[in-house]
Structure 1
Amino acid sequence: MARRYDSRTTIFSPEGRLYQIEYAMEAISHAGTVLGVLAKDGIVLAAEKKVTGKLLDLTATKEGGYGGSGEKIFLLNSNVVAGVAGITADANSLVNFARQAAQRHLYLYNEDIPVELLAQRLCDLKQGYTQHGGLRPFGVSLLYAGYDPHHNFQLYHSDPSGNYSGWKATSIGANNGTAQSLLKQEYKDDITLEEAIGLTLRVMSKTMDSTTLGSEKLEFATLTVDPVTKAPKAKVYRPAEVDALLQKQGLAKPDEDTEMKAT
């Protein structure tokens, strides 16, 4: 029966469902995990990279840019960082749209776009793709970590249907149910950024498919506020910085040379 109603995003099934949206959600549930935790003095984002390999050229991420491989975590504006789960090509299109929307707002009002407004702009676009015939929905969910001087730090999640919601801590992608149950147990309202970093890495270590954590499989970002200028500071960690963080938390993978000597 479903086949009669899943050929268009504009056709409701007799149960009132839009199957194409549900298929997009299913695609996201198989993507790499993305985790966001809101702290009182910042926000942490972590993402599992699926595209790994010894022949992958990561020169640019080690030497220049703002860090990261650009696969899962993106800088949308000086006050907003996003983590994506799903079809990366769709994510690139949405990221470009979000960056343009942020720059238009800056040009018109001479201030950074509020993070909820940016989430609304993307959700308006995504909702349009569920309503007009001939277009499939975007197969990607986003976590927005942002800051504005009125509402301070905020964490939002949006999905292919165009819905968005605010969270204290949440997860999207594969194993998101396990990650959310772990976050429910350990999250505290007065958590600091350092504690949030430790919590995020511990949860990622338990939910990722890999048995070991390393910079080749993990992207990491934080959003804080400069204590002097009060301006938001987004930091997407480079591979060496991710490895240093894992080492500090005792979650780094064993050194191969040490393992060879031990055996």
Structure 2
Amino acid sequence: MIVSKIRQCVHIAAISNRHNNLTVVEKLGRTTIFSPEGKHFEYAMEAISHAGTVLGVLAKDGVVLAAEKKVTGKLLDLSGAKEGGYGGSGEKIFLLNSNVIGGVAGLTADANSLINYARSAAQQHLLAYNEDIPVELLAQRLCDMKQSYTQYGGLRPFGASLLYAGYDQQYQFQLYHSDPSGNYSGWKATCIGANNGTAQSLLKQEYKDDIEVKAAISLVLKTMSKTMDSTTLGSEKLEFAVITLDPETKLPKAKIYRPDEIDELLQAEGLGKKEEDDAMKS
């Protein structure tokens, strides 16, 4: 009798364990990462495709980044961005480290989380090795974290893509792009966000391997003027940054333009608000 009860208990326990295992499998099945068409990142990429354009061009002596800001309304208070603050409003282009700047397209909240992680990773590397983090290594660290969000059920990928523009001693100036899946790639010139196809076509036609920063700035602004919805560019719709080498210290120098500096740059390139102002006067 006792042996029979023990066997019965063991049998019930085995059934219970098997049921629990099936439950786990069923739960995992309900949170399958990829659909049969492999469209797990469809909505993440859709969010990026509707975001403001972010464009980067790699030159011999630096890297240029430009980003389109989406102005949500006329009542938005931009006085803080105009009066000060490093890099203006800080909506699309960020300083990740002293040798790396990043441009983001996609969901702003997701992008802020990624930016904070990248800054923390850069500072951890500096603390451990007493040197600035290599650009590709920073992209790898961020992509490892992004990829981990595609492994487990109940998590969604980050709805943001990044462009990394930076400099290190080994590979000099570099431009990388990473997407929500955790993939990253190096580019001479690339674009993410809205109208990226049009921008890519223009860059293919105009880009040259021996381009310098001055010509790269003109190319970036020219491309942005043709891909943005507005007929004229202005600091309220554009962020701009350049990373070069300081001629004296030979160290990377990141410059994120302030709104008034962007307007001066646009006027110098003949892409400012002159045409719009003349039309209003007439």
Q: TM-score range by the shorter chain?
A: over 0.9
- Cα distance 1:50–1:7, how it changes in 2: closer, same or farther (>3 A)? farther
- Structure 2 gaps, min length 5: 1-28
1:8-44: CA deviation from partner (whole Å, max 9, x where unpaired): 4x433334x1x23122111111111000000001100
**Distance in 2 separating the partners of 1:104 and 1:165:** 23
Of residues 108, 112, 135 in structure 1, which corresponds to 2:155?
A: 135
TM-score for the superposition, normalised by structure 2:
0.86
Instruction: Give the total of aligned pairs.
Output: 255
Q: Is the 2:87–2:93 contact (alpha carbons within 8 Å) kept by the matching residues of 1? A: no
Give the match for residue 14 of structure 1. Answer: 36
Question: Distance in 1 between the 2:274 and 2:106 partners?
Answer: 30
Q: Partner of 1:92 in structure 2?
A: 112
1:180 aligns with 2:200: yes
Counterpart residue number, 2:138: 118
The corresponding residue for 1:154 is 174
Partner amino acid, structure 1, of 2:247: P
In the other structure, the counterpart of 2:221 is 201
> Does structure 2 retain, via aligned residues, the 8 Å contact 1:32–1:47?
yes
Q: Deviations 1:113-147 (Å, cap 9, x if unpaired)?
A: 00100000110010011111111100000000010
Determine the structure 2 residue equivalent to 1:247. 267
CA contact (8 A) 2:232 2:272 kept: yes
The correspondence for 1:210, drawn from 211, 230, 233, is 230
Task: For 1:32-47, list aligned pairs within 5 A.
Answer: 32-47=52-67
Paired AA for residue 114 in structure 1: P
CA contact (8 A) 1:72 1:84 kept: yes
Identity in percent: 79
Structure 1: gaps of 5 or more residues: 1-5
TM-score normalized with structure 1 length: 0.92
Residues of 2 paired with 1:221 and 1:82: CA distance?
9
How far residue 259 of structure 1 moved from its aligned partner, in angstroms, is: 3.8
- From the two aligned structures, give the one with the greater helix fraction: 2
RMSD: 1.8
2:279 & 2:197 partners in 1: Cα distance?
34
Which amino acid in 2 is paired with 1:137?
P
Note if contact 1:175-1:207 (Cα within 8 Å) is conserved in structure 2: yes
